[in-house]
Amino acid sequence: MNNQVSNATTTSTVGKVFHDDVAGMVDELFKNLIASCPVLLNIDSVQLKRIKQQWILGFQEQGVNNFEMVKCGMREARAKPNGYLPSVGEFIAWCKKNYNPHGLATEDQLYQRIVAFMAYGMEEIDRFKFDSDLERYLITGLYCKERANQWTDKDLRSEIQQELNRTAKRLDAGWKVPKPQPALPEKVIIPASKEQVSQHIANMRAMFKGVRVN
């Protein structure tokens, strides 16, 4: 019984700390939103408190839990052409739309890089300048699948978006990008001398005659 009470207290404490963190973040956010959303100046304190409560709940439910995500939303807020206050859902969508903690390329960016890589292919992979091991992993994987399945341009774009989504989830779960395997060394061909070629031809002729040439 005591353990249950202790666990419940701990869970409650963690929840309160998380709530307080988000509440502080929302308070700071609304101070900054005034410049982009002057309509806030006309809202009384009681109504403003209710609005903030909804934003706190929305942030908690949708996983908006750090200032980097909020900054992404603020960039969109500053860019909008009017002074309206976005709904919490709209602002959260802005946060998630631009938040990129893993440095993944956008669909268009990765598509352009794959098209550029097509001029080299796997045969000349060492000549292509990859920006990172992650980019190399994505480009080579999608390139090989595109070649094997003969995708259309539409297919490739669709697969790119799906692969980006899969990769983001794997990175969130702690997946590490595999290190690229070193390319196989090129074959070293040592040309034979005229004497060696002549001797080889003589040996081949002798084999057909059953005679060994020294």
Residue 13: CB atoms within 10 Å: 10
pLDDT at residue 49 is higher than 90: yes
pLDDT at residue 211 is higher than 60: no
pLDDT at residue 158 is higher than 80: yes
Coil, helix or strand for 38?
helix
pLDDT of residue 92: 93
State pLDDT tens for residues 50-104.
999 999 999 999 888 888 889 989 999 999 889 899 999 999 999 887 777 787 8
Confidence of residue 194 (pLDDT cuts 50, 70, 90): low
Q: Are 43 and 73 in contact (CB under 8 A)?
A: no
Average pLDDT, the chain: 81
Q: Which residue has the tokens 């960016």?
A: 109
Q: Of 190, 138, 178, 179, whose CA–CA distance to 162 is shortest?
A: 138
pLDDT at residue 4 is higher than 80: no
Average pLDDT estimate for 125-142: 94
Cα three-residue angle 125-130-132, rounded to 5 degrees: 130
Q: What percent of the chain has pLDDT over 70?
A: 75
Across the chain, which distance is largest between two alpha carbons, in Å? 110
pLDDT of residue 1: 45
Q: Are 74 and 26 in contact (CB under 8 A)?
A: no
pLDDT at residue 140 is higher than 90: yes
